[in-house]
Amino acid sequence: MSDPLAAPLARLHAEGRLRVWSLAVTIFGDAAAPRGGALSMADLTRLLARLGAEPGAVRTAMSRLARDGWVERRRAGRRSYYSLAPRGLEESLAAAPRIYAAEPPEWDGRWTVAFSADGEAPAGFRRIAPGAWIAPGDAPCEAPGIFTIRGGRGAPPDWARAALSPPPLAARYAALVAAWEGFAPPGEPEAAMAARTLLIHDWRRTLLRDAPLPRALRPAGWPGAAARALVARLYHALLPASEAWLDGCEAAPGESPPPAGPALHARFGGPSVHPDQELPAIRP
């Protein structure tokens, strides 16, 4: 029988050297955080091995994350357990609303334009000219040396739409859809957890390159809409089996992770928000 993870794993490894620490961040932010934030090193090593990571690379990655203050390690006899440190929990909570949103943010028709002489782009802004960036709404921008103008109303012209949603970003969303649209979620718990990790890792790396733009500002046929709908449907299809895998893990000696709260099943607006229907067409 063919491995259901063969195609997404090939996609992950085709993008260059495997960043095990980044996969671990995905696991903690997506799977561990809703269930107390802790996992044993043995469980992490087993799951990451399913994704092609060697045990030595997992140890190195976790040491790096602990050194950077993202996780905390504790020992119980010969076993090690890792949990989200305050910094890791804070960053996970900050990114979650964007990653698991059911829809893009609303827009009030206003703009913020930022100017800087040193060429540093403010977070969440898109470049529209040398030293000038734009963001929808009353976007915060507190970096030193940045001058902002807020105001204006109405839809942007085509040149502004192109600056806000560049073709390389559209290509990344389209590639994500092409890679996952034929995927059949496995029912075996470890395979489901591995697939869930790969899916959210792929989505997170694509989404966080993008600005949080309202749908009204996207070009027609924007592939990010199809990508969000697909990821949401697959995510909820993978939840039952992947949560069963977590039920068999250890968060502390002899203790499984605590059950997840309702917020887990409300991600992407819940399974009813993106029902199993035809995806929006992706226009070239």
| pLDDT tens-place string over residues 167-220 | 899 999 999 999 999 899 999 999 999 999 999 999 999 998 888 888 888 888
* 176 in Cβ contact with 206 (< 8 Å): yes
Convert the pLDDT of each residue in 81-131 to its tens digit: 999 999 999 988 888 999 999 998 887 777 788 888 776 777 778 777 888
What CATH code would you report for 6-103+167-269? Answer: 1.10.10.10
The neighbouring-strand residues paired with 149 are 113
Model confidence at 56: pLDDT above 60? yes
Query: Average model confidence (pLDDT) for the chain?
Result: 86
* 26 in Cβ contact with 61 (< 8 Å): no
* 27 in Cβ contact with 50 (< 8 Å): no
Domain residue spans of the chain: 6-103+167-269, 111-153
Q: Report how far residue 256's alpha carbon sits from residue 105's, in angstroms, rounded to the nearest whole number.
A: 36
Instruction: Say which range, 26-30, 97-101, 118-122, 232-236, has the weakest mean pLDDT.
Output: 118-122
pLDDT at 283: 33
Measured over the CA atoms of residue 29, residue 32, residue 36 and residue 42, the dihedral's sign is: negative
* 162 in Cβ contact with 213 (< 8 Å): no
Record the pTM: 0.84
pLDDT at 1: 53
Name the band, by pLDDT with cuts 50, 70 and 90, for residue 152: low
